[in-house]
């Protein structure tokens, strides 16, 4: 049986993440935070260009959350076996 089949969701979240995917996760978190800040500034009355508003409110938030989740669920099996 494959090791991937043995890990549950909680085990994957707690397992070590490869370096590349840590970077992807961190970039996704920052992109989502910037997008949320732009959305909040619009709600405070700051006028944003329509393209920035669309990207901040839809694409960046959703794609950042998905990329962060996928990056966190990857597992570095060599480090996992060392534990």
Per-residue pLDDT, 20: 92
Per-residue confidence band for 19, with pLDDT thresholds at 50, 70 and 90: very high
The Cα 9–Cα 20 span in angstroms is 20
Q: Which residues contact 17 (CB under 8 A, 6 or more apart)?
A: 25, 71, 72, 74, 75, 76
Task: Name the token pair of 51.
Answer: 């393209």
What is the average per-residue pLDDT within 5-20?
A: 85
pLDDT in tens, 29-58: 888 888 888 888 888 888 888 888 888 878
């Amino acid at each position: 049986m494959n090791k991937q089949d043995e890990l549950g969701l909680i085990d994957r979240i707690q397992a070590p993440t490869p370096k590349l995917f840590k970077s992807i996760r961190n970039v996704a978190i920052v992109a989502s935070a910037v997008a949320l800040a732009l959305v909040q500034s619009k709600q405070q009355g700051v006028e944003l260009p329509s393209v920035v508003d669309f990207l901040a409110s839809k694409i960046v938030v959703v794609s950042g959350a998905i990329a962060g989740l996928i990056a966190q669920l990857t597992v570095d099996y060599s480090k996992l076996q060392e534990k």
